[in-house]
Structure 1
Amino acid sequence: MHLKRFTDAKPYEAPNHFHMTGLRLQGFEDKGPTNQWVGLSHFLPGGGAGPDSTPFEKVYVVLEGEMSVIIDGEVTVLGKYDSCTIPPNEVRTIENQCNEICTMMVVIPYPPEKSA
């Protein structure tokens, strides 16, 4: 087992994100997961990311607040404990369109060059 306490989670910068603080809960570390990494993102009101895509799928799980996921002009609002999978190469925008902070867990495979 690889244990990592929340107090040991380190912030990370996510490209094309705004008004967001991300903490790496698991991944990119010795004896950590070999297939994916897990982030915890706190989005202020008006915060978000995109539009962009990744060459691999990702999973979003909203833990608090709500997040609007916009794909091809269609808006889907995720609330507490809602989740979605974004397929590889799908262009998405995410926006916190409410007045509360949105806390979201993100699970993403390592980029091909990582190969843990």
Structure 2
Amino acid sequence: MEITRIEDAGGYEAPGHFDMRGLRLQGFDASAALFAWTGLSHFLPGGGAVMDASPLEKIYVVIAGEVTITLDSGEKHTLSRLDSCFIPGGEGRAITNESNHVASMLVIMPYPEGS
């Protein structure tokens, strides 16, 4: 078993994200997990991610605050504490913290091909 203590979690930059701090909890350089990696994203008020579509599936689990997910269709959904969503590969999404509180979200994704 490999444990990542939050005090030891390393930061990472996520392309297209703004006013967000990411911590790697599992996978990549945090553990030997081969099937997926897990990150913890802290979004400041007004922070988020630009509209983007990735070929990779993703799961988001909000653990504090609220985030609004806008799909490329224009559909919007606000997720609160312990709400989660699955975004299929190829579906565009933007993320926004529209509140005045920090929002925290777990991100679970497979590795990009070739990594």
Superposition deviation, residue 31 in structure 1: 5.1
- Alignment-derived partner of residue 38 in structure 1: 38
Superposition deviation, residue 52 in structure 1: 0.2
1:29 and 2:5 matched: no
- Alignment-derived partner of residue 16 in structure 1: 16
- Alignment-derived partner of residue 59 in structure 2: 59
Question: Over residues 12-60 of structure 1, what are the superposed CA-to-partner deviations in whole Å (9 max), with x where a residue is unaligned?
Answer: 0000000000000011137521011000000001000020011110000
- Alignment-derived partner of residue 102 in structure 2: 101
Question: Over residues 53-85 of structure 1, what are the superposed CA-to-partner deviations in whole Å (9 max), with x where a residue is unaligned?
Answer: 111100000000000000111110000000000
3-state SS, counterpart of residue 11 of structure 2: strand
Output the TM-score relative to the length of structure 2: 0.95
3-state SS, counterpart of residue 7 of structure 1: helix
**Matched residues, percent identical?**
50
Output the TM-score relative to the length of structure 1: 0.94
Q: Which amino acid aligns with 1:26?
A: Q
3-state SS, counterpart of residue 90 of structure 2: coil
Structure 2: runs of 5+ lacking an equivalent:
none
List structure 1 segments (4+ residues) > 2 angstroms apart after TM superposition: none
Q: Give the Cα separation in 2 of the matches to 1:35 and 1:59.
A: 14
